[in-house]
């Protein structure tokens, strides 16, 4: 049986790994479907303390991985689809394979939210619909694209895409961006970016080649229908927490986020099970806050193991 299993290799998971490894707990970190987490799909991270020039998201995660493994954390690839926390010895299942641990730190993060409109699934990944400008932006050199959303992610995606694309249309359902002031101003001031306000995207239309040709929009104030020709659709409308294996076992809020218990930020109602990062935080959702929760959960795990041994 393992002392500590950490689920997830984002900022929260690796920080928990660094702390539990340095506490000689020999943690096992299980890496899910997105090694390195969401930051590996971001370009420059400008707000992680200690990097006045900014840091590439992939490099930051690679450094966290090196730091955790340097102190003895082990990383294994396994997507956990089921858990049993009914015993002191917690069991985690990945298909037919199972893992047992005294402590589990859940840092499974969140995944991009999709619109659920016609055309989205059909053209997702490779045919023009994507959730990652960093991954796919370069494929749209000299082309017109749309970005959907009004938060920091949408602004970041739109600004990143101006490096390649001839025009970026930002489609938002309201007439004001949710993004931070600095990002909103930078985005709206960019000569290649045009904002389309108060508009919902109702359908993504394919061309004869089966790839994106245009989006159909509806103005939510006037009801007027519109169409925007584009080769790429970048969806940036927030995230859904990766918490499905814990449904019915741990407390989740109505949006599926794990809810810590007993006034703590990282303890759950089950002793020895802790949470960290975006799977349990719909408010801050920052790399640095995820890292902070990873640190807290590791310290709580260490205390809990010391008390229960």
Site residues (vs ligand NAP, CB under 6 A): 47, 115, 149-154, 156, 173-174, 178, 236-239, 285
Strand partners, 241: 110
* Closest to ligand NAP by CB, 7 or 235: 235
Annotation marks residue 135 as catalytic = yes
How far apart are CB 42 and ligand NAP at their closest, in Å?
Answer: 7
Measure the CA–CA gap between 212 and 196, rounded to whole angstroms.
Answer: 19
Residue whose C-beta lies closest to ligand NAP: 151
* Cα–Cα–Cα angle for 261, 303, 280, rounded to 5 degrees: 30
How far, in Å, are 92, 128, 253, 258 from residue 246 at the CA level?
A: 11, 33, 12, 8
DSSP 61-126: HHHHHHHHHHTT-EEEE----EEE-SSSSEEEEETTEEEEEEEEEE---EEE-----TTTTTTBTT
* Closest to ligand NAP by CB, 64 or 287: 287
How far apart are CB 274 and ligand NAP at their closest, in Å?
Answer: 22
* Closest to ligand NAP by CB, 71 or 124: 124
Q: Which of 199, 151, 146 is nearest to 174 (CA)?
A: 199
How far apart are CB 172 and ligand NAP at their closest, in Å?
Answer: 6
How far apart are CB 237 and ligand NAP at their closest, in Å?
Answer: 4
* Cα–Cα–Cα angle for 135, 141, 143, rounded to 5 degrees: 115
* Closest to ligand NAP by CB, 72 or 238: 238
Three-state SS at 288: helix
Query: What is the dihedral angle through the alpha carbons of 132, 134, 139, 141, rounded to the nearest 10 degrees?
Result: 120
Backbone angles phi, psi at 146, to 5 degrees: -120, 150
Of 136, 152, 278, 281, which residue is the catalytic one? 136
Annotation marks residue 155 as catalytic = no
Of 81, 88, 135, 251, which residue is the catalytic one? 135
* Closest to ligand NAP by CB, 74 or 285: 285
Go through the chain and tell me how many residues it has: 309
Annotation marks residue 56 as catalytic = no
How far apart are CB 269 and ligand NAP at their closest, in Å?
Answer: 26
Of 11, 132, 155, 230, which residue is the catalytic one? 132
* Closest to ligand NAP by CB, 92 or 237: 237
Strand partners, 106: 7, 275
Query: What is the dihedral angle through the alpha carbons of 266, 271, 272, 275, rounded to the nearest 10 degrees?
Result: -20
How far apart are CB 200 and ligand NAP at their closest, in Å?
Answer: 6
Catalytic residue positions?
132, 135-136
């Amino acid at each position: 049986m393992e002392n500590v299993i950490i689920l997830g290799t984002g900022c929260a998971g690796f920080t928990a790994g660094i702390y539990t490894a340095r506490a000689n707990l020999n943690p096992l970190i299980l890496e899910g479907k997105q090694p390195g987490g969401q930051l590996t799909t971001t370009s420059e991270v400008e707000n992680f303390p200690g990097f006045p020039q900014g840091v590439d998201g992939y490099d930051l995660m690679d450094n966290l991985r090196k730091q955790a493994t340097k102190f003895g954390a082990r990383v294994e690839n396994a997507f956990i689809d089921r858990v049993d926390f009914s015993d002191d010895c917690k069991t985690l299942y990945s298909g037919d394979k199972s893992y047992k641990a005294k402590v589990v730190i859940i840092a499974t993060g969140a995944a991009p939210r999709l619109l659920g409109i016609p055309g989205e699934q059909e053209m997702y990944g490779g045919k023009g619909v994507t959730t990652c400008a960093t991954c796919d932006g370069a494929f749209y050199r000299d082309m017109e694209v749309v970005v959907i959303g009004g938060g920091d992610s949408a602004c970041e995606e739109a600004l990143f895409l101006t490096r390649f694309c001839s025009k970026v249309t930002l489609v938002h359902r309201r007439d004001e961006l949710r993004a931070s002031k600095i990002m909103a101003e930078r985005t709206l001031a960019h000569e290649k970016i045009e904002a389309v306000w108060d508009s919902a995207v109702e359908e993504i239309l394919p061309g004869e080649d089966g790839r994106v040709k245009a989006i159909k929009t509806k103005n939510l104030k006037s009801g007027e229908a519109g169409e925007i020709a584009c080769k790429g659709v970048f969806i940036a409308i927030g995230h859904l927490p990766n918490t499905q294996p814990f449904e019915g076992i741990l407390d989740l809020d109505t949006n599926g986020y794990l809810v810590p218990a007993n006034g703590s930020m990282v303890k759950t109602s089950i002793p020895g099970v802790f949470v960290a990062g975006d799977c349990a935080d719909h408010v801050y959702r920052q790399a640095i806050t995820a890292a902070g929760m990873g640190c807290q959960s590791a310290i709580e795990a260490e205390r809990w193991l010391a008390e229960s041994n």
